[in-house]
Amino acid sequence: MKILYTILLNLVIYSYGMADITQFSSYAAKYEVYYKGIEAGEMIFNYQKDGNEIDITVETIGNYLAKLIGRDKEIQKLKIKYKNSKPLPIYYEYKKIGKKNKEYRYNYSYLKNKYELEINEISNINDIKKEFKSDEMFIDGLFFKFLSMTNPKNIKNEYNLVSKDNVRKIYPIIKKNQKIRIGDKSFTGFSITYVNKNKNNITFYAVDDINKMVYKEVRKNDKSILKIYFKEELIKIK
pLDDT in tens, 192-220: 999 998 999 999 999 877 899 999 999 99
pLDDT value of residue 2: 41
Whole-number mean pLDDT of the chain?
Answer: 89
Q: What are phi and psi of 136, to 5 degrees?
A: -110, 150
How confident is residue 18, by pLDDT bands cut at 50, 70 and 90?
A: low
Who contacts 122 (Cβ-Cβ below 8 Å, separation ≥6)? 102, 103, 104, 105
| 8 A C-beta contact, residue 78 and residue 146 | yes
**3-state secondary structure (DSSP) of residue 144:** helix
pLDDT value of residue 19: 60
Q: What are phi and psi of 165, to 5 degrees?
A: -110, 20
| 8 A C-beta contact, residue 119 and residue 160 | no
pTM value is 0.89
Task: Fill in the DSSP letter of residue 154.
Answer: G
C-alpha to C-alpha distance for 28 and 53, rounded to whole angstroms: 17
What's the pLDDT tens digit per position in 117-172? 999 998 777 789 999 999 999 999 999 999 999 988 889 999 999 999 999 999 99
pLDDT at 23 over 60: yes
| 8 A C-beta contact, residue 34 and residue 227 | yes
Domain of residue 174 covers: 3-237
The domain tally of the chain equals 1
CATH label of the domain that carries residue 147: 2.50.20
The share of the chain scoring above pLDDT 90, in percent, equals: 69
pLDDT value of residue 127: 84
pLDDT at 5 over 80: no
Cβ burial of 40 (10 Å; 0-12, 13-18, 19+) is buried
